[in-house]
Structure 1
Amino acid sequence: MSKFLGLLAVSLLLGAFARRSGRFPEQTALVLNAFVLNIALPALVLRAVHSLTLAPALLVAAATPWLVFGSSWLFFRALGPRLGFPPGTVAALVLTGGLSNTAFVGLPLIEGLMGHEAQQVAVVVDQLGSFMVLGTVATLFAARAAAKDPRTGALLRKVVGFPPFLALVAAFLLQPWDWPEWVDVVLGRLGDMLTPMALFSVGFQLRPSGVKGRVRALALGLGYKLALAPLAIALLLLLVPGMGRLTFEVSVLQAGMAPMVTSAILATDNGLDPELSALMVGLGIPLSFATVPCVLWLLR
């Protein structure tokens, strides 16, 4: 756990220091974002989904990220305009509030809180839930929110051409075959670069001075992500007959994880309030280290 926390903190702080140093060009975040979305994330998706084994009993858990994203769309589309938020800000809140960091924060945090036996459920929520939401409906939403060409055909072409989506399709098609060990090693190395580079990019774009003017948006976004989302999932799963306690608790905790780092990069890549997106991740990750254990305590 300490190694994981150290990687997150150091990557984020290095990005912030890099911007202040003046040694990195202004386009640094754009370049890193392009690498994350086009190389590191597809490699991670391809490797993870190719080796995925699914137990039918976990399908309900896998559905929870889809519900969190759908509820995010309804929640922020209803309240955002009433609070005077522009469309780009609302879209950024939908993406960062609707996508949980179920991998780089969720997996180690759940293992630390609940033990190794909880990992199987957490992985299914991440790979069949969060990864697929990111590669499909979230990408389509971001493309539509930022689209200069709103025609359905143009939007679908953008989604179908999105490298993580292509990797997701390829991973499922290739599941019946084993690939050479060196392929797995290469994909693993590329995928391992996602967390430090993505957080470095977020840190580079993070401007703490911007918090003052974004308090309402941050309170709404993080309030939904860290509190309302896990509460809603908990109440919903209580209605599901026969759900095991472990699956219930892990699903709720994954719903309450910090915003997904890649969701902020997706928002930034589409010009959807990059400053707010970076703040949602930069503040949400450290806050989640306090809120997630509180959620688990309340569940028990």
Structure 2
Amino acid sequence: MSQLVGVLAASLILGAIARRSGRFPEQTALVLNAYVLNVALPALVLRSVHRLTLVPELLVAAVTPWFVFGGAWLFFRTLGPRLGFTPQTVAALVLTGGLSNTAFVGLPLIEGLMGREGLQVAVVIDQLGSFLALGTVATLFAARAAAKDARPRTLLKKVLGFPPFIALVIAFLLHPWAWPAWVDVVLGRLGDLLTPLALFSVGFQLRFSQVKGRVRALVLGLGYKLALAPLAIALLLLLVPGMSRLTFDVSVLQAAMAPMVTGAILAADHGLDPELSALMVGLGIPLSFATVPCALWLLH
């Protein structure tokens, strides 16, 4: 757990220091975002989904991230305009509040709080839920929110050409076959760069001086992500008969995780209020280290 906190904190802080140092060009975040979305994330998707063991009884848990994203779309699209938020701000809230950091924050936290027996459930939620939602509906939403040309053909072309989506399709097609060990090692090395580079990019874009002017958006976004989303998932899963306590708890905790870093990168890459997206991640991750254990305590 301490290693996780160290990597996350160091990456964010170094990104902020890099911006203030003046030694990095203003386009640094754009370059890192492009690398994350076009190289590191596809590599991670290929490796993770190809190695995934499908467990039918956990498919209900895997659906929960889709409900979190759908709930975010409904929640922010309803309240955002009434609070005077721009369409770009609403879209940024949907992408950051609707996608949970179920991998780099979620998996270590679940292991620390629930033990290794909770990891199987957490991995399925991450890969069949969060990864799939990111590569499909979230990508389509971002493209539509940012596109001047919103014709279905244009949007579909953008989604189908999105490298993580291509990697997702390839991973499922190759799932029945094993590939050489060196391929797995290469993909692992490339995928390992995602978290530090993505958080470095977020740190580079962080402007804590802007928090004062974005309080309403941050309270709404983080309130949904860290509190309302897990509450809604808990109430929803109570309606599912025969679900084990472990699956229930892990599903709720994964819904309570901080905003997904890649969701913020996706928003920034499409020009959807990148400042707010960075603040959602920069504040959401440290807050989640307190709110997720509280959620577990409330469940018991």
Report the TM-score, using the length of structure 2 for normalisation: 1.00
Q: Which residue of 2 aligns with 1:272?
A: 272
| Cα root mean square deviation, aligned | 0.3
Write the distance in 2 (CA, Å) between the matches of 1:199 and 1:176. 34
Deviations 1:155-182 (CA, angstroms, capped at 9, x unpaired):
0000000000000000000011111100
Query: Is residue 20 from structure 1 mapped to residue 43 from structure 2 by the alignment?
Result: no
Per-residue deviation at 1:32?
0.1
Write the distance in 2 (CA, Å) between the matches of 1:55 and 1:38. 29
Report the TM-score, using the length of structure 1 for normalisation: 1.00
Q: Which residue of 2 aligns with 1:211?
A: 211
Deviations 1:40-88 (CA, angstroms, capped at 9, x unpaired):
0000000000011111110000000000000000000000000000000
Instruction: Report the AA paired with residue 152 of structure 1.
Output: P
For the residue of structure 2 that corresponds to 1:80, the secondary structure is: helix
Q: Which residue of 2 aligns with 1:107?
A: 107
Per-residue deviation at 1:231?
0.2
Query: Is residue 190 from structure 1 mapped to residue 179 from structure 2 by the alignment?
Result: no
Query: Is residue 149 from structure 1 mapped to residue 149 from structure 2 by the alignment?
Result: yes
Write the distance in 2 (CA, Å) between the matches of 1:19 and 1:169. 37
Write the distance in 1 (CA, Å) between the matches of 2:106 and 2:74. 24
Q: Map 1:42-81; keep pairs closer than 5 Å.
A: 42-81=42-81
Instruction: Report the AA paired with residue 75 of structure 1.
Output: F
For the residue of structure 2 that corresponds to 1:259, the secondary structure is: coil
Q: Map 1:1-300; keep pairs closer than 5 Å.
A: 1-300=1-300
Identity of aligned residues (%): 83
Deviations 1:103-158 (CA, angstroms, capped at 9, x unpaired):
00000001001101100000000000000000000000000000011100000000
Moved over 4 A (4+): none
Write the distance in 1 (CA, Å) between the matches of 2:240 and 2:185. 40
Instruction: Report the AA paired with residue 93 of structure 2.
Output: L
Alignment gaps of 5+ in structure 1: none
Write the distance in 2 (CA, Å) between the matches of 1:109 and 1:209. 30
Write the distance in 2 (CA, Å) between the matches of 1:51 and 1:114. 23
Instruction: Report the AA paired with residue 45 of structure 2.
Output: V
For the residue of structure 2 that corresponds to 1:148, the secondary structure is: coil
